[in-house]
A = this chain, B = another copy of it.
Amino acid sequence: MVALSLFFFKALGLSMQRKRNGYNDTDVPTLADVARLAGTSEITASRVVRNQGPIADATRARVQRAIAELGYIPNRAAGSLASAASTLMAVVLPSLSNIVFPDVLRGIHTAITETAFQPVIGVTDYDPVVEERILLSFLAWKPAAVIVAGLHHTATARRYLERGRFRVAEVMDIDGDPVDIAVGMSHHEAGHATGRHLISRGYRNFGYAGHMIETDDRASARYNGLRAALQEAGLSLVAEHRTPGGSSTKIGRDSLEILLAQHPELDVVIFPNDDMALGGIFHCMHAGIPVKEKLGIFGFNGLDIGQALPMPLSTILSRRFLIGRTAAEKLLESRVRPEDKTIINTGFDIIEGETA
């Protein structure tokens, strides 16, 4: 039976080994298999696959039929190796735990959906060391472009970003010196605008209820901008409370409770983001504190959920989708890094809302 099978293979010109220009007995068809079935050379089949160069209609049709018949999937590792360039776009983000970065992702998707690029996503949990590790592991795939959040990276990461032969977009933040392209807004300015806005509304006793900020450069920049605005007006933060760990609605709620227990004189509390501000509102509802009249609440991001509240959250709208789309579009403009760096300010809007 074994002998018979062997004979059978040989009779058909098959060989049991895999070798160059021989038939291939694995179930994964290669370009050579497609070419053979279509009666063309590999390179012609390759041109059809990549939609590149002049191909006779009849030839193209034959190759396409062969592709369909075999269920051929191009091996991108081989293609990438041969052409020294992949179609990957590395996207390295701090978190996917709230809607902010998914919004950026959607923007990126929108920009590249009609191109050959594929996003490869990594999540750093706001840890620069993790960011470096992920970045290096992505670079091993020779991405055509890299999108990364913020302008602060480890020295090693920054060096690789600068030396690489790919485009780089640093998103969210523009307060700093980008490697290539920066798309985002000034978080310092946003914090400053928050302060001025609330002062103009008559608030005077400012509190801040945050999370541990070292890991979140942008929240930190907003905090500093806020303090600067207060100082310019001869005011200062009356009190602040920081809860260890990340940011969440629960933590916002607890933080406000602790803050008010110690400082009942506060008339407004700023939170690093909408999620936490929502928690603040929930605490007020629970404790029977009239929001805005007795205590103003202010967030950041302009999430839908804050605007769906019975009293829409007062906050700042960041344009996450636009940031993602713009970054990806800019990256697509040219494969090579130009001499000059590009900084794109997508700005922000104050949402007045009804909570401050």
Tell yes or no: A309 within 8 A of B by CB. yes
The distance in angstroms between the C-alpha atoms of A303 and B119, with both chains bound, is 28
Q: Is the beta-carbon distance between B71 and A140 smaller than 8 angstroms?
A: no
Complex interface: stretch among A2-10, A237-245, A246-254: A246-254
- A346, CB-defined interface residue at 8 Å: no
CA distance A200 to B142 in the complex (A): 59
Distance, CA A76 to CA B78, complexed state (A): 10
Flag the segment in A93-101, A211-219, A294-302 that touches B: A93-101
Q: Complex Cα distance A98/B305, Å?
A: 11
Q: Known: A81-B78, A307-B250. Contact between A120 and B120, CB under 8 A?
A: yes
Chain A interface residue count, CB cutoff 8 Å, equals 53
- Cα A27 to Cα B165 in complex, Å, equals 9
- Taken together as a complex, chains A and B put the C-alpha atoms of A307 and B136 apart, in Å, by 39
Within A242-268, which residues are at the interface with B (CB < 8 Å)?
A: 248-250, 252-253
Indicate if A128 sits at the interface (CB-CB under 8 A).
no
* Contact status B81-A105, CB under 8 Å: no
The reply to whether the CB of A169 lies closer than 8 angstroms to some CB of chain B is no
Q: Which residues of B contact A123 (CB under 8 A)?
A: 105, 109
A216 CB to nearest chain B CB (Å): 17
Which of B27, B81, B307 is within 8 Å of A75, CB to CB?
A: B81
Cβ A75 vs Cβ B142 within 8 A: yes
Q: Which residues of B contact A81 (CB under 8 A)?
A: 75, 77-78, 81
- For the complex of A and B, 8 pairs with smallest distance between CB atoms: A96-B102, A286-B310, A76-B140, A249-B308, A77-B80, A121-B121, A250-B308, A77-B81
